[in-house]
Amino acid sequence: MFEVNNNKMNDERIDDIGDNHVGTSAKNPLRDDAFDLSDQEKIAKIQESVKDILETLGMDLTDDSMQGTPKRVAKSFVNEIFMGLNPANMPKASTFENNYNYGEMLVEKNIVVYSTCEHHLLPIIGRAHVAYISGGRVIGLSKMNRLVEYFSKRPQVQERLTMQIVQAMQEALGTQDVACVIDAKHLCVNSRGIKDIESSTVTAEFGGKFKEKNTKREFLDYLKMNTDFN
């Protein structure tokens, strides 16, 4: 991790952080006043800003096709693609007692990740694979998808996203034995800059028993299983 001194933040440093995809903190860098404005107030403000950007680019916003664009973008920023910034939107990760005493690993594979790179505001698209070993509590399968979705809907770096998913699962389940692997394409790499359309980025976080070689191996082996039922 790299310390950021805002006073020294110049253009070169900004480019460096973006090009190297360096996350500066394990938490999303939110200000204390992040939720002083209501969602409606945010939408109104962002709408004006997007209008400004498009007009600066020379777009004619009286054109039928683009008239509603600033509002559409503002609504999607607040209600959809960045909705996970607001803790009020955190899904309730209700857990249950492990009544059937299933003691092995549970793996939820191929959870779709649709996130946004915080350096370029371009999409990160991929799959998350999440696993845990119950320490007495179990979690609904769809809750795992919802947690992945919630943390994805933020300006993100993939490493942080991976860690946040594991931490939230650990807290919900009361066990350290949680792991997550994410394999994703960053459109900022695929469509601009170096324009490498083939590359993808893999990140992993292994907690508790998943740090042990055999458990980690077992989890990674499950990811290789063919789950294409078509």
119 part of the active site: yes
In the bound complex, which residue of the shown chain has the CB atom lying closest to Zn ion? 188
* Choice between 132 and 151, CB closer to Zn ion: 151
47 part of the active site: no
Structure tokens at 155: 């300006």
Distance, CA of 126 to chain centre = 10
Residues numbered 142-161 forming contacts with Zn ion, rule: CB under 5 A? none
Q: Candidates 48-56, 140-148, 149-157, 188-196: pick the segment binding Zn ion (CB under 5 A).
A: 188-196
Cβ contacts of residue 131 below 8 Å, gap of 6+?
105, 106, 107, 108, 178, 179, 180, 210, 219, 222
Task: Render 28-72 in DSSP notation, one character per residue.
Answer: ----TTTTSS-HHHHHHHHHHHHHHHHHHTT--TTSHHHHTHHHH
Judged by CB under 5 A, does residue 184 bind Zn ion?
no
Judged by CB under 5 A, does residue 124 bind Zn ion?
no
Q: How many residues bind Zn ion (CB under 5 A)?
A: 4
Q: How far apart are CA 101 and CA 30, in angstroms?
A: 41
Residues numbered 2-41 forming contacts with Zn ion, rule: CB under 5 A? none
120 part of the active site: yes
Kindly tell me which residue out of 42, 119, 129, 154 binds Zn ion, with binding defined by CB under 5 A. 119
Residues that bind Zn ion (CB under 5 A): 117, 119-120, 188
